[in-house]
Amino acid sequence: MDAMTTQRAWDEALERLLLLFASMDLGGIEHRHRTALDLIAQAKQRFNPDLGLSTTEVTMDVVGEELECWFTTALGESADRVRNRTAAGLLAWRVTGGSERWGDVLLAGEPPTDLRLAFENVRAQTGPDLTFSSMTHREMDYGPMESLAQETWHRFAWAPLLKAVVFWTAIFFLALAIHAHFFHP
Amino acid sequence: MRPAIQPEQLTPDFVGFRRASFFGAILATTGLGLWLLWRSFLPEGISALEWVQLVLFTLLFQQIATGFWLVAFGCLVLLTGGDRAEIEHTIDQESVASNAPTAIILPIFNEDVARVFRGVEAMWQGLENAGGNQGFDFFILSDSNRPENWIAEEIAWLDLCRKSDAFGRIFYRKRRVPRNSKSGNVADFCRRWGARYRYMIVLDADSIMTGQLMRRLVAMMEKNPRVGIIQTAPQLALGRTLFRRMQQFAAKVYAPLFAAGSNYWHLFAGNYWGHNAIIRIRPFIEHCDLPELPDPDEKKRHIFSHDTVEAALMRKAGFDVWFATTEKGSYEEGPPNLSDSLGRDRRWCLGNLQHFWFLFAPGIDFANRFHIWTGVMAYLSSPLWLLFLVTGVVDLAFKNRFSLLSSLPGSDFAYSGGAVQILILATFALLFVPKILALLATLPRSRPFGGPLRLTASALIETLTWTLLAPAIMLYYTRFVISNVLGITIHWSNQNRSDDKGLGLLESYKIFWLPPVVGVLAVSALIIWSPVQIVLLSPILAGWLLAPVIAWVTSQPWLGDSTRKVGLFAIPEENPQNCPAELHHAGQSETLEPEFGGISHSGLARAVIDPVAHSLHVALLRERESNKSKPHELRADTTTHLLEKGPEALSPAQRYALLWDAETLRLLHHEVWSRPTHRLHPWWQACFKQL
């Protein structure tokens, strides 16, 4: 990889990282840039072209580790209850209004105590604790219509019925016409 | 006002007198009509076709007589100062609820997300303003199967909870297996959380209830432990198209009399409409799970329309079902055009016809049987009217043909001794007098309706429009009934509650091609065989021929806006001074940016790329063992496939299934952010630009 290609690759990684921070709403622009540059520096140290990983992949690995570490601390005991701490932490950040309340603290040292307290109370719930009830349907007696239907529809087919309807309709109108012709001249 | 009659004071004599007078009037009217028709047939002897007409007439005349007497008794109730036997009189005017645990549930299915959550926010604030929301929890119960809707609902829920500080009070639940549609959705809620609450207020996605009303409903339930359901009378509101504005005007003017008349005879044995009602949860759980319908193949056949059956089961279990006819603050939105209205009717038709089975089921209350009968006839009457029309025309054509050959002078009308004229007049009276009575009842308070002239003009135009639309609707209802009976599925476009865009004229002809075709055929047949009847049948023929044009005109929002400007079809709620804050808030239309820049598959894009949407979605998914056990290689393959080929590489079903798989989504999220741009499909690159 020549120097120009390498530089472009790191620029792309930086751009991607800034986009990620912006979409996460992680503090102000200056904080995002400063944090991103720090992380790029860490990623550069870890980058080894022989491993086949791109600069963006290495950068995102570093960011993923840093975010998980920071959010694990921030979530405190509740971190043990969740599978994906970064996702849970990010959700807590959004729910508690992290950017407005704590500004540029994310990935900048230890999470403040009030942030930890606020994070511990956040849970995405689809409902209160489950209290199961049994709601099962009872058999319904539909009365004589059901009996009639059960006796009929097993022998029932539409085609013969339609034929019969057509046949008897024709007979009916024929009889009507004959009646009219002979008795109402 | 005279003292209210409490539910426990309703003696069998009192109830018996009301029912006898109401059903006696219907029977007498139907009998009179039948006698007149029979007399009109007598001079020439009753032919086979006329016997068919007599049977059809009895069924149909009974239906319009019922409508007439509902309004007549409603009018009587209003003239005598209101009904003393109404559930709302069991509490004081100012009474509000204790903090009895109450769930407010909104089952939703691919609805306008912004409108749904605006409504929830409005009602939440309404409760706070009405004395506090303690005891009330909201549940948005989603069965949406469009990824775009699903993800947008989650984000809207998060934003609403943040904004209203309502975490742990407003819940969002997405059902993994949406079994048994809306009734299954409600039953699922009852099974999971029903035991935590004493009552549930059931809403539709477009429902709005004021906080005051919700608190009063709880107070009524607390006061009357024998009551299982209280149904409110939701008013149509927030309409913009002409169709919607006409409907909400008609409902506002005519519905109060129908409601009062309805409560007059059924009292504690009312009906349930599936929304805008409060339900006592315990008896609902114990007695109201829907039974399966009889089926020739012994398959489990679900009841499509649950509400009427649930009311019948609640009554069967010994609980009362009341209709709070005079309570203010219950609203819903109507369909914006005729096409959407018929789309809804198609579903309702199937549901109502299924209720036929319950007509003869032992243990069902008489009043519930009558509700079921009314519901069945609402659709079954259309094919019966059509048959009555055809037999009548054929019969008259025969008579006219032979009367030309006869030496007897005079017309059929003359032969009947005036019975036909009386019968026609009586039918018109039964159809139009209720409208006139309702108009007269509204005239003294016509100011919010634009004054007496505009109110009368609106009523006339509305009546004329519906008179012309009725024959086309009859044809479609007939089609729905026949297809439902034969088990044929009719495809109709999805319900569209938005009314910002009207139908195009060509589009309207494409949808409503059937009535003009029938109209042309009918006119041709009449010209050949019975031209004399064209004038008599002209309202019906005109309705068929003009149906696409009327549907097109009434679907236009600009026409709705124009009529609003000139004060036609006005309802009190259109005046901000008379509009409850909840309704005003819910009705505020926002100019929304298209979801994720309008990119295709925006639901999938947001769930994978947007870190917050992804985190929320994954957090809300309940982990499933089968997902965890999915081999990593399979996940990696899906991920690579999707990242390199874009979303079209998966079928819609696969994309939907992917949204249930938290592990694969996590992998995708990590991969999409880590891959250099040139290794991503252009669709993903476009998605990044939307962040």
From CA B15, how far away is CA B189, in angstroms rounded?
36
Residues A78 and A8 in one domain: yes
pLDDT value at position B608?
94
Using the Cβ of B398 and the Cβ atoms of chain A, whether some distance falls under 8 Å is answered with yes
Contact criterion met (CB below 8 Å) for B276 and B207: yes
B594-614: average pLDDT: 87
Q: Does residue A103 carry a pLDDT above 60?
A: yes
pLDDT value at position B383?
96
Cα B612 to chain centroid, rounded = 36
Q: Does residue B626 carry a pLDDT above 50?
A: no
Q: Which of residues 13-72 of B touch A (CB under 8 A)?
A: 47-49
Q: Does residue B527 carry a pLDDT above 80?
A: yes
If we measure between CA atoms, which residue out of B466, B465, B467, B474 comes closest to residue B389? B474
Using the Cβ of B158 and the Cβ atoms of chain A, whether some distance falls under 8 Å is answered with yes
- Quick one: which H or E segment has residue B649? none
From CA B561, how far away is CA B375, in angstroms rounded?
34
pTM score? 0.90
Encoded tokens for A153: 């529809």
Which of A76-85, A102-111, B633-642 is predicted most confidently? A102-111
Using the Cβ of B266 and the Cβ atoms of chain A, whether some distance falls under 8 Å is answered with no
Residue B301 DSSP symbol: B
The radius of gyration of chain B from alpha carbons, rounded to an integer in Å, stands at 28
Q: Are strands B320-324 and B227-232 parallel, antiparallel or unpaired?
A: parallel
Closest-CA distance of chain B to residue A173, Å? 10
**How high is the mean pLDDT of chain B?**
90
Which residues of chain A lie closer than 8 angstroms to B171, CB-CB? 125-128
pLDDT value at position B425?
84
Q: Does residue A3 carry a pLDDT above 80?
A: no
Residues A90 and A37 in one domain: yes
Contact criterion met (CB below 8 Å) for B141 and B105: yes
Q: Which of residues 279-298 of B touch A (CB under 8 A)?
A: 285-286, 289-292, 294, 296
Q: Which of B280, B612, B621, B691 to mutate to test the interface with A (most CBs of A within 10 A)?
A: B612
Residue A153 falls inside a structural domain: yes
Q: Which residue has the tokens 């009558």?
A: B370
Residue B324 DSSP symbol: E
User: What percentage of residues in chain B have a pLDDT greater than 70?
Assistant: 92
- Quick one: which H or E segment has residue B25? helix B12-41
pLDDT tens digit string along B461-515?
999 999 999 999 999 999 999 999 888 776 665 555 567 789 999 999 999 999 9
Alpha-carbon torsion, ordered B90, B94, B99, B105, to 10 deg? 80
pLDDT tens digit string along B290-349?
988 887 776 778 888 899 999 999 999 999 999 999 999 999 999 999 999 999 999 999
pLDDT value at position A150?
78
pLDDT value at position B590?
64
Task: Classify burial at B500, counting beta carbons within 10 Å of its beta carbon; exposed 0-12, middle 13-18, buried 19 or more.
Answer: exposed
Cα B164 to chain centroid, rounded = 30
Q: Does residue A160 carry a pLDDT above 90?
A: no
Say which range, A130-134, B46-50, B83-87, has the weakest mean pLDDT: A130-134
Which residues of chain B lie closer than 8 angstroms to A12, CB-CB? 676-677
Residues A76 and A24 in one domain: yes
Mark yes or no for CB contact B193/A135 under 8 Å. Answer: no
Main-chain dihedrals φ then ψ at residue A129, nearest 5 degrees: -55, 140
More confident residue, B399 or B456: B456
| Alpha-carbon distances, residue B244 vs A25, B232, B554, B579 (angstroms) | 42, 21, 8, 17
Encoded tokens for B29: 């009217």
More confident residue, B256 or A144: B256
User: How does residue B407 score in pLDDT terms, banded at 50, 70 and 90?
Assistant: very low
Residue A129 falls inside a structural domain: no
Cα B461 to chain centroid, rounded = 23
More confident residue, A87 or B412: A87
Contact criterion met (CB below 8 Å) for B140 and B116: yes
Which residues of chain A lie closer than 8 angstroms to B139, CB-CB? 127
Residues A90 and A169 in one domain: no
pLDDT value at position B623?
52
**How high is the mean pLDDT of chain A?**
86
Q: Are strands B277-280 and B102-108 parallel, antiparallel or unpaired?
A: unpaired
Residue A135 falls inside a structural domain: no
Which amino acid, B491?
H
- Considering all CA atoms of chain B, what is the largest pairwise distance in Å, rounded to the nearest integer? 98
Residues A35 and A70 in one domain: yes
In order of start, what are the domains of chain B with their CATH numbers? 87-344 (3.90.550.10), 595-689 (no CATH)
Mark yes or no for CB contact A156/B296 under 8 Å. Answer: yes
Say which range, A124-133, B155-164, B478-487, has the weakest mean pLDDT: A124-133
**Whether ipTM exceeds 0.95:** no
pLDDT value at position B404?
46
pLDDT value at position B274?
95
At a CB cut-off of 8 Å and minimum separation 6, what does B493 contact? B339, B340, B343
Residues A38 and A89 in one domain: yes
Residues A38 and A114 in one domain: yes
* String of DSSP letters for chain A: --HHHHHHHHHHHHHHHHHHHHHHT-S-HHHHHHHHHHHHHHHHHH--GGGT--HHHHHHHHHHHHHHHHHHHHHGGGGGG-S-HHHHHHHHHHHTTHHHHH-TTTTSSSPPHHHHHHHHT----SSSS-------PPP---THHHHHHHHHGGG--HHHHHHHHHHHHHHHHHHHHHHHHHH--
If we measure between CA atoms, which residue out of A49, A39, A2 comes closest to residue A17? A39
Mark yes or no for CB contact A180/B402 under 8 Å. Answer: yes
Encoded tokens for B390: 């055809």
Overall number of domains in chain A:
2
pLDDT value at position B409?
43
Residues A17 and A92 in one domain: yes
Residues A9 and A84 in one domain: yes
From CA B293, how far away is CA B301, in angstroms rounded?
5
Q: Which of A97, A131, A158 sits opposite B196 (nearest CB)?
A: A131
Mark yes or no for CB contact B361/A142 under 8 Å. Answer: yes
Q: Which of A57, A96, A135, A145 to mutate to test the interface with B (most CBs of B within 10 A)?
A: A135
Residue A139 falls inside a structural domain: no
Domain of residue A174, residue span: 147-183
From CA B70, how far away is CA A23, in angstroms rounded?
60
pLDDT tens digit string along A32-51?
999 999 999 999 999 988 88
In this structure, the number of other CB atoms found within 10 A of the CB of residue B178 comes to 16
Q: Does residue A79 carry a pLDDT above 90?
A: no
Residues A104 and A154 in one domain: no
Residue-wise over A93-118: b if at least 16 C-beta within 10 A, else e?
A: bbbbebbeebeebbbbeebeeebbeb
| Alpha-carbon distances, residue A5 vs A1, A8, A16, A21, A55 (angstroms) | 6, 5, 17, 24, 11
Q: Which of A94, A126, A184 sits opposite B173 (nearest CB)?
A: A126
Residue A130 falls inside a structural domain: no
If we measure between CA atoms, which residue out of B267, B270, B536, B299 comes closest to residue B397? B536
Closest-CA distance of chain A to residue B561, Å? 40
Task: Classify burial at B485, counting beta carbons within 10 Å of its beta carbon; exposed 0-12, middle 13-18, buried 19 or more.
Answer: exposed
pLDDT value at position B592?
57
If we measure between CA atoms, which residue out of B599, B11, B646, B561 comes closest to residue B267? B11
Closest-CA distance of chain B to residue A110, Å? 22
Provide the CB-side half-sphere exposure for A58 (13 A, CA).
20
pLDDT tens digit string along B235-268?
999 999 999 999 999 999 999 999 999 999 999 9
Residues A97 and A161 in one domain: no
Encoded tokens for B130: 């009405």
Residue A140 falls inside a structural domain: no
pLDDT value at position B691?
80
Residues A13 and A97 in one domain: yes
At a CB cut-off of 8 Å and minimum separation 6, what does B355 contact? B303, B305, B308, B309, B372, B375, B376
Q: Are strands B227-232 and B102-108 parallel, antiparallel or unpaired?
A: unpaired
Residue A141 falls inside a structural domain: no
Residue A17 falls inside a structural domain: yes
pLDDT value at position B131?
86
User: What percentage of residues in chain B have a pLDDT greater than 90?
Assistant: 72
* String of DSSP letters for B389-428: HHHHHHHHHHHHHHHHHSS--S-HHHHTTTHHHHHHHHHH
